[in-house]
Amino acid sequence: MSDQVVVVGGGIVGLSCALHARRAGHDVTVVDVGDVRQRASFGNAGVIATCEYLPIATPALLKAIPQMLFASDSPLKLRWSYLPALAPWLIRFLAASAPGKVDRAAEALKSLLSLSVSEHRRLARDADAGNLLRDVGWIKAYESEKAYSDLEAERRYLAERGVAMSALSADELNDLLPGLRNIFRKGTLYSDCIQVTDPGAYVARTQDACANAGVRFVSEKAKGFELTDGKVTGVRTADRHVAGTKFVIAAGAWSKVLAMQLGERVYLDTERGYHAMLKTGNRTLLRAPLLWHEKSVVLSQQLQGLRITSSVEFAGLDAPPRYETLDRTVAAIQQIAPELQGPIESRWLGFRPSTPDSLPVIGRAGKHPNCFMAFGHGHLGLTLGPVTGHLIAQAIAGQPTTVDLQPFSPSRFAHS
Ligand SMILES: Cc1cc2nc3c(=O)[nH]c(=O)nc-3n(C[C@H](O)[C@H](O)[C@H](O)COP(=O)(O)OP(=O)(O)OC[C@H]3O[C@@H](n4cnc5c(N)ncnc54)[C@H](O)[C@@H]3O)c2cc1C
């Protein structure tokens, strides 16, 4: 039976839900505020990071956090005035780092990540965006041998779970990073990862594919839901009521308020992140996206130039951007990239929608069975958006889902 599906949020996750639901024969409307730069999907590093099975909260990270919070050049920033608001999330983040929980989260992430490349290939075909995908892998590089060997146990953990990786020598890194001075001693190539060379264009083409398939768009902010006899029957904006029979909340970092209106208590906050774009002319500085481990910065050669993404900042959705750390990071990169001396072309602040256990929220709402949640993909939203879209469309149709959705259930927070 076909439904009237209303999706709130038009980032990679919401659009993927809309496209899959439309393919399944439903009448679909996307309600999105319509500011493309507000989407985290717009300015990310473009890494389809299929190797990132490990959740963010691990025992090793917990040990490093105190020092990271106080170092002036740290990539982790907390605006202390935001601490009271963050505390409930933070407590659950600390609890999520217990070893048994890390293993369970890793298994759950693996179940999604193993589908992500095939879902992207399908999306790229449908959205005529195949030319924006590159099979180049993802490099993690280390200036010090010690930093590399300190992560041996982590690499073994991933290798035992099937992540493809190969060690890189200093010479091999030099070949893969032709525009950078040879400061890296060791590295790892995660060869199954792929790259999106312009995430903004990729999402725009996904939106075009939705529109071509007959998805309607309402460019307004969703303020809440209409209920009739206790059942959700519409989404309310300033000017209208968008009627539907099934609803999906996919509003990225802004989803918590909407979920709360449906009685769902979810722990969602934002790990704010920044990017800077610099022109590279016709020169290829990197043959694959690179994580410079010591600086916790990602460099990604995009169609428009080099994208440098940096920082995790806890300061909520409303605090103005602070670009100082980003600018310092760019200066450090310019020291190892002789040809990258031009000014920063543009800076951007984006909002990763993050849960304390690093697992997205995917599934049916507990109190309103005609509503579904699809948010909280944190550092992996571009990677996982198309997978989530497919799973949500299966859940809407009442079909068995390809992946067990229990670990991602919205109700998991009720007992935490
Ligand atoms: C610096 C940085 C680098 C990153 N790098 C990577 C990477 O390399 N690989 C990767 O996989 N992920 C990466 N990510 C994470 C990824 O970008 C996000 O997880 C992902 O984009 C989230 O997608 P989304 O669709 O859930 O949310 P969004 O893209 O934020 O979309 C949510 C949409 O909902 C709209 N909205 C919100 N509230 C309402 C409302 N009330 N009514 C109507 N519309 C509403 C918003 O305007 C927005 O358009 C990165 C993120 C950052 C910040």
Rounded Cα distance, 254 and 49, in Å: 24
Whether 394 lines ligand 1, by a CB cut-off of 6 Å, is no
Centroid of ligand 1 to alpha carbon of 333 (angstroms): 26
d(CA 374, CA 248): 7
Return the pLDDT at 173. Answer: 98
Q: Is 32 in the pocket of ligand 1 (CB under 6 A)?
A: yes
Can you say whether residue 374 is alpha, beta or left, with left for phi > 0 and alpha for psi between -120 and 50 degrees? beta
pLDDT the model gives residue 80: 92
Q: What's 103's domain CATH number?
A: 3.50.50.60
What is the span of the domain harbouring residue 139? Answer: 4-415
Token pair 């759950």 in the structure block, residue? 108
Looking at residue 307, its pLDDT comes to 97
- pLDDT at residue 392, rounded to an integer: 98
Q: What's residue 416's pLDDT? A: 65
Q: Which two tokens stand for residue 294?
A: 């010591």
DSSP output for 275-333: EEEE--TT--S-SS-EEEGGGTEEEEEETTEEEEEEEEEE-TTTSPP--HHHHHHHHHH
How many domains in the chain?
1
Q: Is 340 exposed, middle or buried, given 0-12, 13-18 or 19+ CB atoms closer than 10 A?
A: buried
Can you tell me which residue has the tokens 């000017």?
Answer: 239
Which residue is it, tokens 């209409």? 226
Paired with 224 in beta bridges are 236
Q: In a mutational test of the pocket of ligand 1, which residue from 19, 33, 119, 255 has the highest number of ligand atoms less than 8 Å from its CB?
A: 33
Q: What is the mean pLDDT of each run of 10 residues along the chain (416 residues)?
A: 95 98 98 95 97 91 82 85 95 91 96 98 98 98 97 96 97 97 97 98 98 98 96 96 98 98 96 96 91 96 95 95 94 94 95 98 97 98 98 97 98 81
Residue 209 is encoded by which pair of tokens?
Answer: 């594919």
Cα-to-centroid distance, 271 and ligand 1 (Å): 11
d(CA 7, CA 32): 9
Q: Which atom of ligand 1 is nearest to the CA of 13?
A: 25
Determine the distance separating the centroid of ligand 1 and the alpha carbon of 100, expressed in angstroms. Answer: 29
Q: Is residue 276 lining ligand 1, measured as CB closer than 6 Å?
A: no
**CA–centroid distance, residue 353 to ligand 1 (Å):** 7
Atom of ligand 1 lying closest to residue 374 CA: 26
- Ligand 1 lined by 289 (C-beta under 6 Å): no
Q: How far apart are CA 359 and CA 411, in angstroms?
A: 13
Ligand 1 atom at shortest distance from the alpha carbon of 309: 1
- CB-based burial, 273-295: b 16+ in 10 Å, e otherwise: bbbbbbebeeeebbbbbbbbbeb
Query: CA 355 to CA 361: how far, in whole Å?
Result: 8
Any atom of ligand 1 within 6 Å of the Cβ of 47: yes
**DSSP one-letter string for 58-93:** -HHHHHHHHHHHH-TT-SEEE-GGGHHHHHHHHHHH
Q: How many whole angstroms separate alpha carbon 198 and alpha carbon 179?
A: 20
Q: Ligand 1 pocket test: which of 32, 37, 115, 269 has the largest number of ligand atoms within 8 Å of its C-beta?
A: 32
Q: What angle do CA 286, 290, 293 make, to 5 degrees?
A: 140
